[in-house]
Structure formats: structure tokens, C-alpha cells
Copies of this chain bind each other. A is one copy, B any other.
Amino acid sequence: MNANVEIITIGDEILIGQIVDTNSAWIGSQLNNHGLEVIRISSIPDKKAEILKALAEAEQRADIVLITGGLGPTKDDITKHTLCEYFDTQLVLNEDVLKDIENLLIPRGVEINHLNRDQALVPKSCKVIRNPMGTAPAMWFEKNDTIYVSMPGVPFEMKSIMENSILPELQNRFHTKTILHRTILTQGIPESMLAEKLADWENALPGCISLAYLPSPGQNRLRLTARGDNYDKPGNILEQEIKKLYKIIPANIFGEEEQNMAEVVGNLLRSKNQTLSTAESCTGGNIAHTITQNAGSSNYFTGSVVAYSNFVKSNVLNVRPETIATHGAVSRPVVEAMATGVKNLLETDYAIATSGIAGPTGGTPEKPVGTVWIAIAGPDKLISECYSFGKNREHNITRTTMYALNLLRRMILVEDEK
């Protein structure tokens, strides 16, 4: 059964352009993966009359209406009261929701006040969907064969509710075409060069498989989509094509789906019971931050010395001041000495070091903004590479982080093969 979806995002901040509505794109891509078609996205203000009109219009067009925003505890959030009016019902206290709110806020030291308690009031006629990440629950309504779901607008709360509750329920209710996705994560090759390398393979892909490039700073994701009436056939074809892909770019594929590079590296280190430290100049702590975003990273990550000044490079990491004076801080000898220095100081098996010109200023004709040296020290090896990453400070930091982690990943794999 084919089902049309309309997304309604509520909030003055969207219409005045204070925030970009990223919820709709995320919801659109998720529904697309589940074979449901979004026919319209409407963004409307926090005004009762506008919300009522949008709901009535959506009912004419869509089988499913997904609504985000306007469920906060403050006065400007009026979605819940407006839904009561639209569905001709009233607010009642939900004890389970109140308990969820208390469990979330009390450990944080928040004193529960009437605003928090008001968030446990829900329309009587809806099915309540609890929100594990926040205080506003989602609400599921049905009217004239149309399903309406109202969710909080905070992206991580909305995503958790969609993934855990709404998407599975919609899949149950609507019998949709089989669409399979696999996402392959690549690093170390720019998009246009990657496309050139994959051209023959891409041109020979069977009709049921489509390919999308999803570039982001420091990595390119390849999304392969297989479509068919049943699960097995497109699944097998997809599997075969991915095997071919691995043979074309073996050094560049570091993972699949939602994996992140630091997690892949962390799993390798953990499996070998080895440890890592970093010495960061231009990345300013971002490699350490990227590694420690992953739970359990304390098993293999010992720590980092962010050596933003030359004083720290010399006095903590034992880089000789003459080396810095002779070659400059952004140089092979300095970045190699940093890697060795932190590896010895923190007594780890591996170490990453970075030194570069993140920008926007600080470049010279010989070393323009974007020049970055990366060194990796291993149990019995020390390598270093120089890159030119361009003028954008944020991208330079991200790219350096990704390239450094991939260099380390490949060194660990080579050690493995010995």
C-alpha cells in the first residue's frame, strides 16, 4: 500500500530564519528508506490559526502527517493546546510521562515546577509515545483515515522517537516496497577522483541498484540502494556489487553504515590490547575529542598533549627548540618529534601528531593556509605525511583529524599482517 506523508514543522524561529529546519530532511530520508513518500513539507509559525489551517490542509493531501516543534514548557509553545482543539479533546495528566520527566530532571538537580508538570498533560484522545531523551512526549492521533504524529522539535529527541517508535509502527501499518540501503564509508580520496576511479563499476551497475555520493569534510559516503518486490534478489545483487567495490578501493574503505572512523580505530586497538595518545597542534584537541566521543575509549586512549604553543612542544613533548627554530613548527622533523615525544611521555603503543596552519591567517608563500603535517608513531615505525587542505579553518581541523585516524588505521592493519 502506498502512503503519502506530509511534514509540518512548527516554530517562528524557522520562518525568521534563525534556525535551519534540518528535521524535515532527516525525516524525509528516513521515510524514503522505508518506502514512504513525502509529498510536502510545510513550515508554519507558532500561531493557533496557522496550525489549525495547516492540519486541515494536510488532511486533504496526506495519509500520514508528521509534526515537529512547539512542545516545550514555555508560553510560546502552543502546539499541544491547538491539537486538543483540532481533535476536539482535552488535556489530562499522564502519570507515566510525569514519572519520565521526574526521572530525567531530578538527577540533574532540576526542581520540578508547574512548567515541567504541565509537560505531563497530554490530549485525552491520543496514544502517548514516551520520549526517552527529553520532557515532551510524542502524541499519535487518528482522524478520518489520517494518522497525525506530533513530536518535539529538538532534533535528537525527535530522531530517537522516530527510530524507536514511529518508523517501526508505520512499517507495520503500511505494506511498502522493499528498499535496501548500504552505506560504505571512504576516506583519503576526494569526491571527483573517487568518482573517476569508480566510473566503470558505476556504469555497469544493474538497473535495480542506484548509487549516491554523500561527501562531507574528510570522508565520502557511498550509498547503494537496491529496489525490488522481494527482499532476496536485490539483496544478493547488492552484496555482489559491494564486494567488487571493496576490490577497487581497498585502502580507502574504513567502515560501513553509521560507524565512525575513531570507533573503527578504537575497535582495532582494543582487539590488540594496545594504546594510543595524541600530540595536537593545529587540530587543537579535536582528535582526542573525536576519539573520546566513543564510549569505552578509555580502554585504549590514554590522553593527549595539545601543544598549541611552541613552549608546550618543547617543554612537555621534548621537541628540541633548535628543531623548531630551523624547520618551523609546521615541518616533518617537528611533527615526528611530537609523535615520538607524546608516545614516550604517555607510554602508549601508538601516537598521532599534527602540526599545520589551520587559518584563516598565518600562511606564508611556502606554507600556505591549509598546509598540515601528520605523523604516526607505532611500536617500531614512524611515518609522516604532508597535506594541503585548503582555506577553511573548520574543514582543515576536520580533514586533518580524519586523515590522521585513517593513517593510523592503515598502520595498525599493516602491523597485523606481519
User: Which residues of A in the span 58-77 have a Cβ within 8 Å of any Cβ on B?
Assistant: 72-76
> What's the minimum C-beta distance from A282 to chain B, rounded to whole angstroms?
8
User: With A72-B191, A111-B193, A308-B298 in contact, is A29–B17 under 8 Å at CB?
Assistant: yes
Interface string of A1-28 (1 = CB under 8 A from B): 0000000000011111111111011111
Q: Number of A residues contacting the other chain (C-beta, 8 Å)?
A: 112
Q: How far is the CA of A178 from the CA of B76 in the complex (A)?
A: 21
State whether A41 touches B14 (Cβ < 8 A): yes
Chain B residue contacts of A296, Cβ below 8 A: 361
Candidates B16, B107, B192, B288; contact of A116 at CB < 8 Å: B192
State whether A50 touches B39 (Cβ < 8 A): yes
A333 at the A/B interface (Cβ < 8 Å)?
no
> What's the minimum C-beta distance from A207 to chain B, rounded to whole angstroms?
14
Chain B residue contacts of A13, Cβ below 8 A: 212, 214, 223
State whether B74 touches A388 (Cβ < 8 A): no
> What's the minimum C-beta distance from A106 to chain B, rounded to whole angstroms?
9
A405 at the A/B interface (Cβ < 8 Å)?
no
- This chain: how many copies in the complex? 2
Q: How far is the CA of A154 from the CA of B214 in the complex (A)?
A: 10
A176 at the A/B interface (Cβ < 8 Å)?
no
Q: How far is the CA of A388 from the CA of B111 in the complex (A)?
A: 13
Q: How far is the CA of A43 from the CA of B8 in the complex (A)?
A: 10
State whether B190 touches A76 (Cβ < 8 A): no
> What's the minimum C-beta distance from A87 to chain B, rounded to whole angstroms?
22
State whether A285 touches B302 (Cβ < 8 A): no
State whether A359 touches B295 (Cβ < 8 A): yes
State whether B306 touches A297 (Cβ < 8 A): no
User: With A28-B17, A115-B195, A346-B312 in contact, is A388–B107 under 8 Å at CB?
Assistant: yes
A404 at the A/B interface (Cβ < 8 Å)?
no
Q: How far is the CA of A391 from the CA of B28 in the complex (A)?
A: 29
> What's the minimum C-beta distance from A361 to chain B, rounded to whole angstroms?
7
State whether A304 touches B302 (Cβ < 8 A): no
A334 at the A/B interface (Cβ < 8 Å)?
no
Closest to A390 in B: B108
> What's the minimum C-beta distance from A284 to chain B, rounded to whole angstroms?
3
State whether B311 touches A346 (Cβ < 8 A): yes
A335 at the A/B interface (Cβ < 8 Å)?
no
Candidates B193, B307, B387; contact of A303 at CB < 8 Å: B307
Can you spell out 16 A-B residue pairs with CB atoms less than 8 angstroms apart?
A15-B37, A16-B29, A18-B214, A19-B25, A40-B50, A105-B192, A107-B370, A107-B388, A108-B370, A110-B192, A111-B193, A284-B293, A285-B289, A285-B306, A293-B397, A306-B306
The interface of chain A, by Cβ under 8 A from chain B, is: 12-22, 24-32, 37-45, 50, 54, 57, 72-76, 104-105, 107-111, 113, 115-116, 133, 154, 181, 183, 190-193, 195-196, 202, 210-215, 223, 278, 280, 283-289, 291-293, 295-298, 301-309, 311-312, 315-316, 345-347, 358-361, 368, 370, 387-394, 397
Given contacts A18-B212, A107-B390, A113-B192, 7 further A-B contacts (CB under 8 A): A14-B24, A17-B31, A104-B390, A288-B306, A301-B308, A302-B311, A304-B304
